[in-house]
Structure 1
C-alpha cells in the first residue's frame, strides 16, 4: 500500500484524490470545532451575561417565530469590547497574522509564501475568532474556517514532503473546502477554491481535489448539524418579466459593494495609522460596534437569523430604537460600519457573512420599493433578498460564479438563477478592479506562484534543435492513395512533399487530394512557411498556427530535415519548465 510519503510520486489524479479526502476530513472537523466554539462563547457571553436571544436561520434549528429579548441590554458594548480584548490579546501575543478576516491571509499565503502557514496560527485563529463572533462582534465564520483548513492543509503538505506547488494547492483547496463546509455549500465551495485567488481568472488545478474535499467536509459537518440549507428552501417561482428589476438591483448592489470595500479598508487603514497599542485597538472597535448594536442589535455576530426573517417578511420580529422602515433602509450601511470596526480594528472574523447580510438587506430594500411601485409584479421581496446576497458579495469578492452557486445552495433557489446571473454580472462590472480581498491578483500571470511560467520567455529560448524531429514525408511521385494512408496513420491533414533528393517542394493537403488519383506532386502547394533547427519554439508554434497544422516542416538549405509536431514541442517545453522551477528553488534554498 502506498505510504503517505510516497504521495508525491503518484500521478496528479491519484495524488489529489487522496489529498482531497484528507483535506475534506480536515475541513469537516475544523468547521465543527469552530462552529461549536462560537456557540459555546455565545452561550456564555450573550445568553448568560446579557440574557440576549438572537434568531437562528432555519438550517441551524431556527424558527420564523422570534421574540427579541435582552435582560441586561446595557451590557452589549462591554461584552463586545471584552471579546475584542480577548481576541487582541491572543492574536498580538502569539500570532499577529491571525488578525483580520482570514481568507485574505490564506490567499496571500498562496501567492506570496508558497502556501506556508505557521502552525500556531491555527489554534489562535480558532479561539480569537470564536470570541470575536461569539461576543457579538460583526463578523463571519467563513474566513476563519478558510484559514483554519488552509493552515492545516499547509501543515499536512509539509509532513508528507510535498512540493511548494502542491502546498499551495493544498492551501487553495483548504480555503474552498472550509468555506463550502461551514456554509453547507459543497459545489460552490469547490469552485470558490479556484476563483477566490484571482479577480479575473481561475486556478483549474485545484477544482478536482476541491470537489472531493468539499464533498467529504460537507458530509462530516452535515452529519452533525444537519443538511438543511442554512436559509431553508425558497419555494417561490421565477418571473422573467422581473429581469429588468433584478438588473437594477445588480447596479445598486455593485455600488453598495464599492461602499463596503472603501469603508472597510478606510477604517482598517485608519486603525493601522493610529498610534495605540495593538492590544487596545480591537477593544475600541468592539466598544464602538457594541454601541452601534444598542441602536440596532441586528448587526451583531453573523446575522443569519435576521436574513431569514427578512426573506419571509417577518418585520415585526425586528428590534430597534428606530421605526422598522428606517431600520431596514439603514441596516446595510450600519452593518458595513459595524463590520469595518470589528475586523478593521484588528478583530478576528470573516467578511463573507457580513457581505451576505448587507446584500440581503439591500435586496430587501429594493424589493420593498418595487413592491410598493408594482405590487402585482413584485408580490414578495424574497427573490430580491436572495439575489441581493449573490450580487452584492459576488461583485465585492470578485467571485461571481462561486457566490452565485453558494447562495443557490444556501437558499434552495435554483429557479432564481437567471435573475441572479444578470444581477451579479452587473455588480461585478460596477465594482471593477476593487475587491474586499486585497491579496487577490488580477490573473495567473500576475501571481508570484506562476512567475516562472510567464516572466521567463521559455518558448523563445528553446530551439527546434532540442526537439525530436519525425521522418514523415512523401515523394512527389507517391500515389495519392498511399499519401492519404500515411496522413491518416499520423493523424495529419497535410503532409510535406519532397523530390528524390529530399529537397522540400511544399505541402499536400487532404482536402485537395481526396477522391483524386495519380501522383501527389500535382497537388503540391508551394511557398509554405518553414522553420530551421535554430528557430525558437515560439516561431515553430506560430508557423503551426499560420498553416493551421499540428506540425511544422524543418528545412535547411532547401532540404527537409524532418517535421516538428506540437506534442514533441510541448514535451520539451514542460521539461524545461520543470528544470527552471527546480533551479529557482535551489537558488532560494
Structure 2
C-alpha cells in the first residue's frame, strides 16, 4: 500500500494563524515603548535622505543660475566638484541687489505662512523638543526648505544644516502624529529625522546622528534614548542620498600627520583663538538681532531684505562672504588638491595669506548676523565651518612662519579649526569631531581635534549660538517628572507607614442615612466598604457621598453603602510608590487601600499621600547627602 502524502495545512487553519499574528502585532503596536520608534526610524531616514537630495539639487541650480549667470561669481571648487577657474562678480551694483531680492522673497514666504521658520532652524528644533512636545507644523519644513534655498542661493551667508534638520524633523513629527504615537516617541522621531537630513547632506552619517542627540544641551549631556533611532535614520538617509549623488568628502586635505606632544601647545593656542572669535560670533549674531533688526521700524517681511542689502554692500569688497563658502576654505586655507588644480597651479598651496584669512573669518561673523539675525532662513553650521577653517589657516600660517623648524602644515590647523570652532559655539564636541573627520575623509588629526574641541567647549561655557539649549535633561520640560518617577520606583509600599488604626470601615449593608451620619461625625476622607466576612468590596470618598445625596432624595432606606461604593483600586506591599501615586491620581483620592498580594480583598490599612510624599522627600535627602564611609 503506498505511503500517504503528508496533509497540508488547511486554508482555514492558515487564516486563523494569520489573524492571531495580526492581532498580536496590533496589540504590540498599540503598546508605547514596544519598538514603534525603531520601526519608524528607517522610514523617516528614507524621507530625510530624499529631502537632502532635493534640497541640494535645487540649491545648486539656484546658485549656478543666480550667482553664476547673473553675478558672474564662480567660487573655487570643493572636493566634490571638477576643476574650474575662479570668477568674481562683473557688475558691482548687482552684488547688493541680489541678496536684497532674495531676502525680500524669503521674508515674504516665512512671515506670511510660517513665522517659526525664521532664523537658523536648529533652535526651532530644540524648542520643539523641550517645550513643544515634538510638534512641528506640517507646512514648516516646506516653507523652511524653499526659503533657505532662496536665501543661500542668492548669496545669503547661511548653511544647510538648519533647513534640512527641520525638513527631516518635520516629517518625523508628522509621521508620529499620523500614527498617534506618544509625545516621547514623537520627540525621538523628530530627532531621527534631523539626524538623517544632516547626516546625508554633509556626508557625515555618524556625525549627524550624534549632533541630533548632543545639540539639545549646553553640557556634556546627550539624549541617549534617541541614539539608536538617530543612527538607524542616518544610515538609511545616507544610503538613499548615495543612490542619487555619489558621496565624496567635501574637503580634500593632504596627507596630514600629528607629531605628538610638541604640537599640543600649538593646537591649544588655536583652541584659545577659536574661543575668542566664537564669543565675538555669538555677540555679533544676537547683538544684531536685539539692537539692530528688532528695533528697526519696518514690517518683519522686509527686514531680511535690509539684511541682504547690507550683506551685499559688504560683499562688493569681499565677495567670498556670499553663500556658504566651502570652496573658499578649500582654496584659501587648505589649497586645492591635484584633482582640482588647473595647469600651472600648485597642489595644496593656500591661496590666501594671513591678513585675508583673518579678515574673512571676522567679517563672516558680521555677514552671518546680517543674513540670519534679520530673519533670513538658513543654518549656522556652514558659516561656522568657514570661520573656523579660515581662522585655523591663519593661525597655522602664523605659527609656521614663527617656527620654521617644525614644518607645520597650515591645512592641519584649518581642519582642526573647523571642528574646534563649531564645537565651542554649539556645545557639541563629539559630533564636531566626527563630522569634520567624515567631511574631510581623514582621521589623522583626531587627537588635535579632541584637544581643541574640548578646550574650546570648556572656555566657552557661558555662551552658545543655540539659545534654546538647556543645561541638562533635569532642566528640560520634556523630562519633567522623569526623575521623580525614578525615585518613587525605588521605594515600595512596605517601606512607608501604612495606617492601620482609626479606619472608618463601613459594612456593605449599612443604610445610606446611617452612612451620612457616620461620615458627618468622622474625620476620614476615604471609607473602605466590607461584606459580612470582613472582605473588602469597595471604597467611597466624601465626593461620592455628596454626589449620592443629590440623587437619592426620594429613595430613603433603599440605598445602602455598597450602592455608592466604587470597585476598590488597591496596592500591595510589594508595589512601588510610583504605582501608588498613579492610582491615587486616577481615583482623585488622597489614600489607597493596601491589601496582601495573595489576598486582594483582605484590608491591611490605608496608604496616605502625605506619607508617600514624606518618604519621597527622605529618599531625595538621602541621595543628596550619602552617608560617609566609616573611618578605618
TM-score when normalising by structure 1: 0.76
Counterpart pick for 1:277 among 278, 299, 306: 299
Residues 107, 197 of structure 1: 8 Å contact kept = yes
Relative to structure 1, is the Cα distance of residues 118 and 44 closer, same or farther in structure 2, using a 3 angstrom cutoff? same
**Structure 2: 5+ residue stretches without partners:** 1-20, 500-571, 589-632
Aligned length: 481
Deviations for 1:452-502, whole angstroms, at most 9, x for unmatched residues?
A: 224x47736985326xxxxxxxxxxxxxxxxxxxxxxxxxxxxxxxxxxxx
Q: Report whether the alignment pairs 1:58 with 2:83.
A: no
Q: From the CA coordinates, give the structure whose radius of gyration is larger.
A: 2
**Partner SS, residue 294 of structure 2:** helix
Deviations for 1:392-416, whole angstroms, at most 9, x for unmatched residues?
A: 1101100011111110111122110
CA distance in structure 2 between the aligned counterparts of 1:7 and 1:461, rounded to whole angstroms: 24
CA distance in structure 1 between the aligned counterparts of 2:586 and 2:155, rounded to whole angstroms: 49
Counterpart pick for 1:116 among 114, 119, 135: 135
Relative to structure 1, is the Cα distance of residues 337 and 7 closer, same or farther in structure 2, using a 3 angstrom cutoff? farther
**Partner SS, residue 100 of structure 1:** coil
Quote the residue 2:308 is aligned against: 286
Counterpart pick for 2:244 among 206, 224, 227: 224
Within-5 A mapping of 1:175-574: 175-200=194-219, 201-232=221-252, 234-240=254-260, 241-270=262-291, 271-313=293-335, 324-454=353-483, 456=484, 459=487, 464-465=492-493, 572=576
Q: CA deviation at 1:53?
A: 1.3
Q: CA deviation at 1:16?
A: 2.9
Relative to structure 1, is the Cα distance of residues 379 and 532 closer, same or farther in structure 2, using a 3 angstrom cutoff? closer
Deviations for 1:552-589, whole angstroms, at most 9, x for unmatched residues?
A: xxxxxxxxxxxxxxxx99983665698799999xxxxx
CA distance in structure 2 between the aligned counterparts of 1:344 and 1:583, rounded to whole angstroms: 51
Residues 7, 160 of structure 1: 8 Å contact kept = no
Quote the residue 2:182 is aligned against: 163
Relative to structure 1, is the Cα distance of residues 21 and 278 closer, same or farther in structure 2, using a 3 angstrom cutoff? same
Within-5 A mapping of 1:56-95: 56-59=77-80, 61-63=81-83, 66-95=85-114
Comparing 371-380 with 184-193, greater Cα deviation is found at 371-380
**Partner SS, residue 151 of structure 2:** helix
Deviations for 1:335-363, whole angstroms, at most 9, x for unmatched residues?
A: 00000000000000000110110011110
CA distance in structure 1 between the aligned counterparts of 2:233 and 2:108, rounded to whole angstroms: 33
CA distance in structure 2 between the aligned counterparts of 1:133 and 1:344, rounded to whole angstroms: 14
CA distance in structure 2 between the aligned counterparts of 1:581 and 1:412, rounded to whole angstroms: 55
Quote the residue 2:152 is aligned against: 133
Q: CA deviation at 1:275?
A: 2.1
Comparing 336-345 with 117-126, greater Cα deviation is found at 117-126
Relative to structure 1, is the Cα distance of residues 571 and 156 closer, same or farther in structure 2, using a 3 angstrom cutoff? farther
**Partner SS, residue 53 of structure 1:** coil
CA distance in structure 1 between the aligned counterparts of 2:251 and 2:86, rounded to whole angstroms: 19
Q: CA deviation at 1:227?
A: 1.8
Residues 25, 217 of structure 1: 8 Å contact kept = yes
Q: CA deviation at 1:27?
A: 1.2
Relative to structure 1, is the Cα distance of residues 581 and 174 closer, same or farther in structure 2, using a 3 angstrom cutoff? farther
Q: CA deviation at 1:273?
A: 2.4
CA distance in structure 2 between the aligned counterparts of 1:75 and 1:392, rounded to whole angstroms: 32
Quote the residue 1:39 is aligned against: 60
CA distance in structure 2 between the aligned counterparts of 1:342 and 1:12, rounded to whole angstroms: 42
Quote the residue 2:69 is aligned against: 48
Residues 173, 209 of structure 1: 8 Å contact kept = yes
Relative to structure 1, is the Cα distance of residues 310 and 223 closer, same or farther in structure 2, using a 3 angstrom cutoff? farther
Relative to structure 1, is the Cα distance of residues 426 and 323 closer, same or farther in structure 2, using a 3 angstrom cutoff? closer
**Partner SS, residue 408 of structure 2:** coil
CA distance in structure 1 between the aligned counterparts of 2:265 and 2:585, rounded to whole angstroms: 50
Comparing 33-42 with 122-131, greater Cα deviation is found at 33-42
CA distance in structure 2 between the aligned counterparts of 1:289 and 1:62, rounded to whole angstroms: 28
CA distance in structure 1 between the aligned counterparts of 2:124 and 2:245, rounded to whole angstroms: 28
CA distance in structure 2 between the aligned counterparts of 1:90 and 1:102, rounded to whole angstroms: 15
Relative to structure 1, is the Cα distance of residues 459 and 99 closer, same or farther in structure 2, using a 3 angstrom cutoff? same
**Partner SS, residue 444 of structure 2:** helix
Residues 216, 469 of structure 2: 8 Å contact kept = yes
CA distance in structure 2 between the aligned counterparts of 1:329 and 1:424, rounded to whole angstroms: 20
Q: CA deviation at 1:113?
A: 0.6
Relative to structure 1, is the Cα distance of residues 374 and 81 closer, same or farther in structure 2, using a 3 angstrom cutoff? same
Q: CA deviation at 1:199?
A: 0.9
CA distance in structure 2 between the aligned counterparts of 1:131 and 1:295, rounded to whole angstroms: 23
Quote the residue 1:145 is aligned against: 164
CA distance in structure 2 between the aligned counterparts of 1:578 and 1:203, rounded to whole angstroms: 26
Deviations for 1:399-456, whole angstroms, at most 9, x for unmatched residues?
A: 01111111011112211011110111110011113110011100000000011224x4
Q: CA deviation at 1:123?
A: 1.1
Q: CA deviation at 1:35?
A: 0.8
Residues 394, 428 of structure 1: 8 Å contact kept = yes
State the Cα RMSD in Å: 2.9
Q: CA deviation at 1:180?
A: 1.4
CA distance in structure 1 between the aligned counterparts of 2:256 and 2:159, rounded to whole angstroms: 28
Residues 286, 342 of structure 1: 8 Å contact kept = yes
